[in-house]
Amino acid sequence: MDETLLNDVVQAALSAGADAAEAVSAERRALSITVRLGALEEVEREEARDLGVRVFVGRRQASVSGSDISAEGRAKLIDRAVAMARLAPEDPYAGLADPELLARGRHADLDLYDPAEPAPEELEARARTAEDAARAVERVTNSDGASASWSASQWTMATSGGFTGVHRASGFSIGASAIAADENGMENGYEGRSVRWQSDLPDAAHIGAEAGRRAAQRLGARKIASTTAPVIFENRLAASLLGPLIGAISGPSIARGTSFLKDKLGKPVFGAHVTIADDPHRKRGLGSSPFDDEGVANRERNLIDAGVLTTWLLNSSSARQLGLTSTGHASRGLAGPPGVGPTNLTFEPGERTQAELMKDAGKGLLVTSMFGPSLNGNTGDWSVGCSGFWFEDGELAYPVTEITVAGNLIDIYGRVVPGSDLEIRGASNAPSLLIDKLAIAGL
């Protein structure tokens, strides 16, 4: 859907009685192939083209979306949105982004779109290669399947505030899940990667072999007694610790007063050796975009700079509520007002390898899998179920399972030590992270 059509939608909304309006379109094509035990299991094909309209009548707003983009369908969407806005409660902070903050001129080329479109047979071959490699690993006895996929999408936006922009992106992925077994039971292992450009995909056989290796390595997992000990979060999942941070520094949380970091702006939250960056303009980044979802210009910034919390994440509404300026972190779908979200998060690496962190800690827990996190957003009390490996004398001793680690995130963040093994795998990335002491609940 081109910008001219969206601008026509905006003008039609104004003519229908809206004081301001924005229109967004999302177009997506995707193909995913899954195999299991050497047989084709699932083929999913998606082609979608949808339109969203948000209108403002004074300080009242409403949004609607639909897939009928005919002239009649567009007219119905607009009439419905304006009628809903007239009945909506007033929101003193509602409105389009401030014009002076918009991303004007030519937008940055972030190299997010690869025009390659692999054939179904090619995707199936990748999935089969990954699964075959997983099943070839010693002690792997079964498979949960392997998949390969491709997608291409385009997000177009136009507003009555004078913004128009187009954001195109592609995606390619491979994943495999293996099951290993011995006389004591079974264990799962997974490996997968997603990239913007097909040429950046790891070898499918490597993906499968790693899934198999991780499953086999977990065999013999045992439960341990509750204790307090150092904990290292493996780099593959360490970025999960950033999720509560992002929630705690989002503008809506601060405006509601429901954040455990609400009094920490401009103060140390981490040690002075910690920097956490957010970069929307990373080339080929999975979280990259040339502008935010309100059309506001975005830029790289250190959310944590030498341990100090430097900013809240703000869209236009939360910025107005706090008497501040949008930071270009608006995030939205086709319907509903924008929320807040990061782009490409990076916990900058330290100087010690994971092995060296283990030697520094001596004895403790290496977490390789996490599930069921629980967080008290007001206090920062946090816990998560996990499994991994117990290490002693700086070396892996045996796999462990059915344990929970817990602590207060203000305390955890203040003591975390990053390793050197940062690997860019997604939109949120971190090296292995060591916390010198956490409560571990086991038997």
Query: Which of 217, 243, 266 represents a domain boundary (last residue)?
Result: 217
Q: Give the per-residue pLDDT at 2.
A: 80
- Conformational region of residue 134, where left means phi above 0, alpha means psi within -120 to 50, and beta covers everything else: alpha
CA nearest neighbour of 342 among 331, 333, 351, 353: 331
Domain limits for position 442: 221-443
> Span 316-322, mean pLDDT?
98
Query: Which of 217, 249, 272 represents a domain boundary (last residue)?
Result: 217
Mean predicted lDDT score pLDDT of the chain: 97
Q: Give the per-residue pLDDT at 184.
A: 87
What the block records as the tokens of 1 is: 């859907």
Calpha distance 368→396 (Å, rounded): 12
User: Same domain, yes or no, for 293 and 381?
Assistant: yes
CA nearest neighbour of 145 among 31, 286, 43, 218: 43
Note whether 267 and 308 are within 8 A (CB).
yes
Virtual CA dihedral for 376, 382, 386, 390, nearest 10 degrees?
A: -170
Which residues, listed in sequence order, are joined to residue 366 by a DSSP beta bridge?
232, 389
**pLDDT per residue over 149-186, tens digit each?**
999 999 999 999 999 999 999 999 999 999 999 998 99
Query: Which of 198, 217, 236 represents a domain boundary (last residue)?
Result: 217
User: Same domain, yes or no, for 314 and 378?
Assistant: yes
Residue 80 phi/psi, 5-degree rounding, is -65, -45
**Domain tally, the chain:** 2
Res 329 pLDDT > 90? yes
User: Same domain, yes or no, for 379 and 284?
Assistant: yes
Count of helices and strands (H, E) across the chain: 10, 19
Task: Tell me the residue type at 321.
Answer: Q
Burial class (CB within 10 angstroms; exposed 0-12, middle 13-18, buried 19+) of 15: exposed
Residue with tokens 């003008």: 11
Note whether 382 and 409 are within 8 A (CB).
yes
At residue 1 the predicted structure's pLDDT band, cuts being 50, 70 and 90, is low
Three-state DSSP class for residue 163: coil
Three-state DSSP class for residue 170: strand
